[in-house]
Amino acid sequence: GQQVMQIPQYQHVQEGEDFTTYCNSSTTLSNIQWYKQRPGGHPVFLIQLVKSGEVKKQKRLTFQFGEAKKNSSLHITATQTTDVGTYFCAGPAGGSQGNLIFGKGTKLSVKP
């Protein structure tokens, strides 16, 4: 079945270092969404990418959607302790009405 894979599973960085998580889908996606889940919290929507090759920025976060619409990345510049959490990518299941298939997430820890 359709799969969404993410690497790395864990990332430990020193505050101020950059961080990148990568997402790959086994199928072409109509769009990809990114969510952040703080420890003990619930997934919170960050962004949706729709167009092939799309790049979007939110302050220190840069999101990319691959040309083939099968991969995506999230890059955080100069991490802060507030960036701690698990970052999930999610894509709609093929032919679905919107139910999302989530990657396993990348858990980011930031050492002050």
Partner 1 sequence: EPEVTQTPSHQVTQMGQEVILRCVPISNHLYFYWYRQILGQKVEFLVSFYNNEISEKSEIFDDQFSVERPDGSNFTLKIRSTKLEDSAMYFCASSERDRIAYNEQFFGPGTRLTVL
Tell me which residues touch partner 1 (CB under 8 A). Answer: 30-31, 33, 35, 41-45, 48, 50, 88, 90, 92-93, 96-105
- DSSP string over 41-105: S--EEEEEE-STT-EEEETTEEEEE-TTSSEEEEEESS--GGG-EEEEEEEEPTT-SSPEEEP--
Nearer to partner 1, 95 or 112 (CB): 95
Q: How far is the CB of 16 from partner 1 (least distance, A)?
A: 28
73 close to 64: Cβ distance less than 8 angstroms = yes
Nearer to partner 1, 17 or 70 (CB): 70
Q: How far is the CB of 17 from partner 1 (least distance, A)?
A: 25
Nearer to partner 1, 10 or 16 (CB): 10
